[in-house]
């Protein structure tokens, strides 16, 4: 599968995009922050190192920049800190911890910051390998867990399901953050800075070359 072609043609179907002032400020701040000096605001520094590697596994550099080159890891960290509710923040940290623990166990390493792309990629792949029916069952377990936590109850979630939840959420946020970046919005997606003629029923191939509109 050509992931870049899929990215160019897919619509904003992830259900994340809400044009709030907070979200727009996050997008604006991420485009100019130098990755080399980046310090996470929500995640721990060693978690930030892992996050930057994971987003590049999901969207590596090809004919377009990698996810980290357009600051997707910065975007995800800021979004987690400024937009997510406390229960979502806790779930993200918990599920990421389960994910990195698996990578550490499989690689025989002790420190999260020492995990390489080669250590992380198999865990990410195995965490997303499930059938639609299996995913449906996992989502039901995740929903039951999050509802119990929201009600102040004690609940546990299977480690395998937790890793799936992290990998699935991260993949969605990575694609979303990539599409929201300035470079992708202007250079990869169909971009019209000054709206012109309204064509309600035009063919996407004729209007944009098959690309989704930049939002």
In a domain, 72, yes or no: yes
Give the whole-angstrom CA distance, residue 37 versus residue 32.
12
Nearest-angstrom CA–CA distance, 65 and 136: 33
Residue with tokens 């995009």: 17
Write down the pLDDT at residue 193: 53
Domain contains 155 = yes
Q: Classify residue 171: in a domain, yes or no.
A: yes
- Which residue segment(s) compose the domain that 77 sits in? 3-189
**153 within a domain of the structure (yes/no):** yes
**What is the predicted pLDDT for the residue at 201?**
62
- In whole angstroms, give the CA distance from residue 44 to residue 51: 10
pLDDT digits (tens, 9 = 90+) for 113-172: 999 999 999 999 999 999 999 999 999 999 999 999 989 999 999 999 999 999 999 999
pLDDT in tens, 19-35: 444 444 545 555 544 44
Yes or no: say if 28 and 88 are a contact pair by the CB < 8 Å rule: no
Residues 6+ apart with CB under 8 A from 151: none
50 occurs within a structural domain: yes
pTM score, two decimals?
0.74
Token readout for 100 is 């990195």
Q: Kindly report, residue by residue over 48-97, the tens digit of the pLDDT.
A: 999 999 999 999 998 888 999 988 999 999 999 998 889 999 999 999 99
Residue 161 domain-assigned?
Answer: yes
- Structural domains counted in the chain: 1
Please report whether residue 83 resides in a domain.
yes
User: pLDDT tens digits, residue range 185-212?
Assistant: 455 544 445 555 555 665 555 545 555 5
């Amino acid at each position: 599968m050509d992931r870049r072609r899929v990215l160019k043609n897919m619509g904003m179907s992830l259900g994340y995009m809400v044009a709030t002032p907070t979200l727009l400020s996050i997008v604006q701040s991420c485009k100019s922050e130098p990755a080399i000096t980046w310090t996470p605001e929500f995640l721990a520094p060693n978690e930030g190192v892992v996050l930057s590697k994971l987003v590049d596994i999901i969207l590596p550099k090809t004919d377009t920049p990698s996810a980290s080159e357009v600051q997707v890891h910065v975007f995800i960290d800021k979004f987690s800190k400024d937009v997510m509710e406390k229960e979502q923040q806790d779930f993200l940290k918990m599920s990421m911890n389960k994910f990195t623990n698996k990578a550490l166990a499989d690689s025989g390493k002790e420190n999260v910051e020492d995990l390489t792309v080669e250590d992380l990629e198999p865990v990410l792949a195995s965490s997303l390998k499930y059938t639609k029916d299996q995913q449906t069952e996992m989502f039901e377990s995740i929903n039951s867990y999050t509802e119990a936590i929201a009600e102040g109850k004690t609940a546990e979630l299977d480690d395998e399901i937790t890793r799936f939840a992290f990998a699935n959420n991260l993949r969605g946020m990575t694609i979303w953050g990539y599409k929201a970046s300035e470079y992708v919005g202007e250079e990869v997606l169909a971009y019209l800075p000054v709206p012109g003629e309204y064509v309600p029923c035009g063919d996407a191939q004729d209007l944009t070359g098959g690309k989704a509109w930049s939002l």
